[in-house]
Structure 1
Amino acid sequence: VGIGTPTPRALLDVGGLTPVNPSPLALFGSNINAASSIEISNKSSAANADSRIIMYDDAASSSTLNIVQPSTGHTGGALLGIPRATSSFIFANGSRDFGIGTVSARSFILGTANAERVRINSGGDLIATAGGAKFASFTGATFNNAATAAFVASAVKVGVAIQSTSSWTGSGATNTGLTVDVAGAPTNYAAVFSGGNVGIGTAAPAYKLDVQGGDINASGSVRANGVALSSDIRWKRDIEPVTNAGTRLGQLRGVTYYWRRDEFPKKAFGPERQLGLIAQDVEKVFPEAVISDREGFKAVNYPALIAPVIEAIKDLFQRSDAGEKELIALRQRQADLERQFFEFKQISDRRTQAAEAEISRLKESMKPRAQQHVSAKGIGSNL
């Protein structure tokens, strides 16, 4: 059937233009100042009433729906446009660009109010825009699921890179390279500042890494040139001395050990031989130095043991000082006794010498009497 042509080239040929390929149904027109259209409508209000265009084919390599740009004429318009108000809601052109909510499609574009919001360009980059200007660019990003977004890179490539293509603007260190917060929250939960400071739990980090509001947990070793612990007396109350420190320390045992790495792979324990204490032993005598996690596993706060060690050393010094004083007293007593003994010996020696002299004198004084007695005895015998 031909309408407007004596030589129809299809079962229904409207317009008379020669199609490139014969088709069962062809609608052609020229010099038409209004939009060419096919209108299919169903004004029934029945529940199952609808309007459909059903297309199918049995050929393995053919297209069910093929919208092509003609080889001549204007090529700047849309191949497929679903209008909404004064702008296209869905747009596709001959450059293989596709857009939703915009008529200025470049690659794949999502937009609102006829303005570009999200674009996937020909290089595979995902670009999000704010107000039509470039807002963020995600290259090689992978979103794992609806709950979390992860940026996964192949080997030896950056997973997440945050940089500025030009100099920072603003007041120097107040500019953030990475900020993580919760909508409506008055402070940031994590921030990396251009000055080099990183804050977690604070928006004003005073150090290269400033963590506030919680503990830091690491499955591996923490390496540092020094550690400073908060100890200002203005932060403390109910201060009491550590008692019986030496006795309590004597109940602890220093041990060597290896980690059970195969049973706890997530802890990333090292294979080296370790030196330390058993948390359960410490908890019995110094419970303040032991921390338990949510699963009940215990950790020793080794710096906390410095306090009882200091008190034990002080006690040893006090005992040593007392012993030194007692030893000095004993030595003084010994010196006194030696001096008294020396004086007594001198007196004894003098008395001994005097006694010996007196004995000698008596012996000498008794010699004449003895001789006289002997002489008298001799005379008597002669008589």
Structure 2
Amino acid sequence: MKTNLFYKIGLSIVLMVLSAFLFSKSYSQIRYNSNGKLTIGNTQPYEFYSQTVEGSGMYFTCFTNKFLQLDVSPAAPRIAGTGNQIVFYNTKTSAFNSIQVANVYNYSDVKAKINIRPSVYGLNTISLLRPVTYQFVGEKEMGRSSNLEIGLIAQEVEKVLPSIVYTDDEGKKLINYVALIPVLIESIKTLQTEVNELKKSVK
């Protein structure tokens, strides 16, 4: 009994000393300030934010070995995830999120490409696609805007351009609309050639 008691007292003292070290004003790595702001690491609260964390990044993982990685050490901070994908999706409401940014740049460096050939997709391909207007199911129920959308149906596009349609692990289909730009460019070039030929025939 005495051994047990001494062990508990000793453990309590160790925990108290450790807590004093962690939360002391001069040496703290985790600090909760009197103004309600929390800092982790050797840093000070940043402006109006309630939490400030010092470090080169953060790594999240779970029992399935999936991961999310935040790296703030490069010139431009980086985000990485399992399968080289990041999905902005609300699991609770089963809805994709909108993303608002100033610009989007797609990696297209020639050094990263092999088997480069002229595209065979052009005006004939575009003529097989069916633009539609639509609304997403359940938008009103989730309290979100039910604006009229303009786009394509993934299942229809998949029959024409299967490489630009992605099916996730839940069976949801998504379209890479950016990949349609080269097809549209080739279509415009074809039409311009036809216009030039018509102009010549009129002369």
TM-score normalised by structure 1 residue count: 0.39
* Structure 1 residue 217: Cα displacement: 1.1
**Contact between 2:31 and 2:39, CA under 8 Å: does it hold in 1?**
no
Aligned partner of 1:207 in structure 2 is 76
Q: Does 1:306 align with 2:175?
A: no
The RMSD of aligned alpha carbons is 3.6
Deviation per CA, 1:133-169: give whole Å up to 9, x if none. 2276598xxxxxxxxxxxxxxxxxx9x944467559x
**Aligned ranges for residues 128-143 of structure 1 at < 5 Å?**
129=18, 133-134=21-22
Paired residue secondary structure (1:176): coil
How many positions carry a matched residue from both structures?
Answer: 173
Higher relative contact order (CA 8 A, sep 6+): 2
Deviation per CA, 1:276-305: give whole Å up to 9, x if none. 111111111111111110011101111011
**Contact between 1:181 and 1:190, CA under 8 Å: does it hold in 2?**
yes
**Contact between 1:129 and 1:136, CA under 8 Å: does it hold in 2?**
no
Paired residue secondary structure (1:207): coil
State percent identity of aligned pairs: 25
Q: Does 1:322 align with 2:197?
A: yes
**Contact between 1:259 and 1:269, CA under 8 Å: does it hold in 2?**
no
Distance in 1 (alpha carbons) for counterparts of 2:182 and 2:141:
32
Aligned partner of 1:243 in structure 2 is 120
Aligned partner of 1:285 in structure 2 is 160
**Contact between 2:134 and 2:150, CA under 8 Å: does it hold in 1?**
yes
Larger proportion of helix: 2
**Contact between 2:165 and 2:174, CA under 8 Å: does it hold in 1?**
yes
* Structure 1 residue 212: Cα displacement: 3.4
Distance in 1 (alpha carbons) for counterparts of 2:146 and 2:43:
46
Distance in 2 (alpha carbons) for counterparts of 1:264 and 1:296:
23
Q: Does 1:88 align with 2:27?
A: no
C-alpha change, 1:243 and 1:177, in structure 2 (3 Å) is: closer
C-alpha change, 1:162 and 1:259, in structure 2 (3 Å) is: farther
Larger radius of gyration: 1
Unaligned runs of 5+ in 1: 1-81, 90-99, 103-109, 120-127, 140-157, 169-174, 183-187, 192-198, 329-383
Aligned partner of 1:47 in structure 2 is none
Distance in 2 (alpha carbons) for counterparts of 1:229 and 1:304:
10
Paired residue secondary structure (1:234): helix
C-alpha change, 1:189 and 1:257, in structure 2 (3 Å) is: closer
For 1:324, the aligned partner's letter is: K
TM-score normalised by structure 2 residue count: 0.68
Deviation per CA, 1:185-232: give whole Å up to 9, x if none. xxx9634xxxxxxx2xxx743314x12351121121110111100001
Q: Does 1:179 align with 2:44?
A: no
Distance in 2 (alpha carbons) for counterparts of 1:234 and 1:256:
39
* Structure 1 residue 326: Cα displacement: 2.4
Distance in 2 (alpha carbons) for counterparts of 1:264 and 1:301:
27
Distance in 1 (alpha carbons) for counterparts of 2:140 and 2:145:
13
Q: Does 1:116 align with 2:14?
A: yes
For 2:3, the aligned partner's letter is: R
**Contact between 1:254 and 1:277, CA under 8 Å: does it hold in 2?**
yes
Deviation per CA, 1:14-71: give whole Å up to 9, x if none. xxxxxxxxxxxxxxxxxxxxxxxxxxxxxxxxxxxxxxxxxxxxxxxxxxxxxxxxxx
Distance in 1 (alpha carbons) for counterparts of 2:163 and 2:135:
25
**Contact between 1:261 and 1:270, CA under 8 Å: does it hold in 2?**
no
C-alpha change, 1:269 and 1:245, in structure 2 (3 Å) is: farther
